[in-house]
Amino acid sequence: MEEFSVDDPTQLLEAASEFANYPGVQNDASAKEFLHRFPLPVILNALQTKADVPGLETTLVALLESIFKTRYGASLIPQYMPFIQVGLTADSQNVKSLACKTVTCLLESLNGDAVSARLITDNNIYPLLLDCLINGNEQVATLSMEAIKTIAGSPATIDIVFPANTNEATHLGKLASKCSSLGRIRVLALIVKLFSVSPHVASVISKSNLLGLFEAEINSNDTLATLNVMELLYELSEIQHGREFLSTSTLLQLLSSIISDKSMESILRSRAMMISGRLLSKENYMFADESSVNTVVSAIDRILSSSETPDTDEFESALEALGQIGSSMQGAQLLLSSSPPAARHVVYAAFERQGRGKQLAALHALANISGETRSENSIILTSDAEESLRRLIYETAAKSSKLTPSGLFLSVFQQDPETRLAGYRVLTGLVARPWCLMEICSKQEIINTVTDAVTETTKLGMEARYNCCKSIHTAFIMSSKLSSDPALAGIAAKLHEAVRLGPYLARKHHEAQPTVVTADRF
């Protein structure tokens, strides 16, 4: 081994920089070779005592991260638990970050077994991670969350994160009650992260009444804190395990009260509607209490019916929320069967051109209500709901310059590509209704659009056009009245050919291909 002077870390700094900046992934052999030259105690000692050397701390932190990511390096971590303790309490945020990452490496290498539980408990690691969460900078807080998430993900260590005694200082509910506003938000952000670990962890969180922390924060008079919590709830509503439990909680009632409260900031009402829509989407509608659903729909309906026109973002959020709710059969039937039907706002906005953003939101919402996202056997609703949908579209057409639904559909296809894409989605769902199929077949321009391979140039546009064409073709074949009509034979052939060619590269007119001709020879 080369002689190394602790008093002069230059040699270590150069070697560490080379190792940390290696362009590939370091392996066990390279980690062993480096630690043979510079033993781990020497590196840790230099990190603690030579932090004033320019660039040394940053370089050694990067070095140790690389080493501990190898299997060999991770196997050494249990021998250096005091280093992790010191690192988690260090003044340096870089060192704290390293310590948090090292905990994660340790747990991943041990696969969450009983040894990892003992190491975390005996060395008081979890309380130190919580302190990093509350008091560290943003990077440290994020890394501590990842480490805690790893602890919660193992049956051997989950009880560390969720102690049975609610009076434990490390209980998240107890911790949140003693934190600053920023600390509470970070605890709530951690809970959101934990929901994504597994259904079991989500169930433990729910049974621990930790969702009540969100409700308490929303009920505060701090607008910024409320908005932060709403953003976390929006994030939580994207997690399947989270949606299921949120849908059954009293949060829906709380969200509906925010939607109805005109004194609330518009951005808060918009977020409340978006979250409610996600919680009541087709995957989660069944979990929700019926009265909560009705309350939310009524609150959104009042927003859209208000004589005081809501701002654009709020209006679009309301339409999108109705579309989310309408993606399930039960939700669509509720929106179409209420008196007056809440779905009227969606239909009117879809075809009245109240602004491009509003029309797009409404068209996508109408596509959901019409069943574009539902399975084939759940597209058609109850007779009352179906009649309500038909009546709304015909009434909207009669009040417009287009006069007929087919005129409305064609007007959508005559707009920009993004609007056409939304229009394809609407017809893909609606065409399962005989009245809609008749309207489509009565307008040759619509058939020309959905069968024309050169109409769309983007992948999403091509796929949406093709799906629409395929749905129309299927509905046409299933209609004995139309499929047997000789006058519609041309339409049938056109649909069949377009479906046969598929969504991509189905162009009849190809660009001229260059030809190579041999030179004339004398």
Does 511 score more than 50 pLDDT?
A: no
Q: Does residue 216 or residue 77 have the better pLDDT?
A: 77
Percent of the residues in the chain that have a pLDDT greater than 90, as a whole number: 29
- Give the confidence band of 88 by pLDDT, cuts at 50, 70, 90: very high
Q: Does residue 190 or residue 167 have the better pLDDT?
A: 190
pLDDT score recorded for residue 262: 81
- Give the confidence band of 505 by pLDDT, cuts at 50, 70, 90: low
Rounded to the nearest 10 degrees, how much is the dihedral formed by the CA atoms of 385, 391, 393, 397? 180
pLDDT score recorded for residue 101: 93
CA distance 98 to 102: 6
CA distance 475 to 366: 19
Q: Which residues contact 154 (CB under 8 A, 6 or more apart)?
A: 107, 111, 112, 113, 116, 117
pTM of the model: 0.77
The per-residue pLDDT of the chain, averaged, comes to 85
285 DSSP assignment: G
- Encoding tokens for residue 12? 């270590």
Query: Which among 433, 347, 329, 432 is positioned nearest to 387, based on CA atoms?
Result: 433
pLDDT score recorded for residue 509: 45
pLDDT score recorded for residue 422: 93
CA distance 235 to 257: 20
Does 507 score more than 60 pLDDT?
A: no
Residue-wise pLDDT tens digits, 170-210:
899 899 888 888 899 999 999 999 998 888 998 888 888 88
What integer is the mean pLDDT of 429-446? 90
What integer is the mean pLDDT of 220-232? 81
Does 128 score more than 90 pLDDT?
A: yes
- Give the confidence band of 364 by pLDDT, cuts at 50, 70, 90: very high
Q: Does residue 52 or residue 374 have the better pLDDT?
A: 374
What integer is the mean pLDDT of 470-491? 83
Residue-wise pLDDT tens digits, 287-300:
566 777 888 888 88
**Structural domains of the chain sorted by starting position, each given as residue range(s) with its CATH number in brackets:** 1-157 (1.25.10.10), 162-232 (no CATH), 250-400 (1.25.10.10), 401-506 (no CATH)
What integer is the mean pLDDT of 125-154? 93
- Encoding tokens for residue 427? 């017809």
- Give the confidence band of 423 by pLDDT, cuts at 50, 70, 90: very high
pLDDT score recorded for residue 513: 47
- Give the confidence band of 231 by pLDDT, cuts at 50, 70, 90: confident
310 DSSP assignment: P
Does 256 score more than 50 pLDDT?
A: yes
- Give the confidence band of 263 by pLDDT, cuts at 50, 70, 90: confident
Does 3 score more than 50 pLDDT?
A: no
Does 317 score more than 70 pLDDT?
A: yes
- Encoding tokens for residue 147? 């480490």
Residue-wise pLDDT tens digits, 387-401:
999 999 999 999 888
**How many beta carbons lie within 10 A of that of residue 27, not counting itself?**
12
CA distance 131 to 471: 57
Please tell me which of 235-239, 263-267, 438-442 the model is most confident about, judged by mean pLDDT: 438-442
Measuring CA to CA, how many Å separate 228 from each of 189, 224, 233, 345?
10, 6, 9, 29
- Which residue's structure tokens are 């597209």? 379
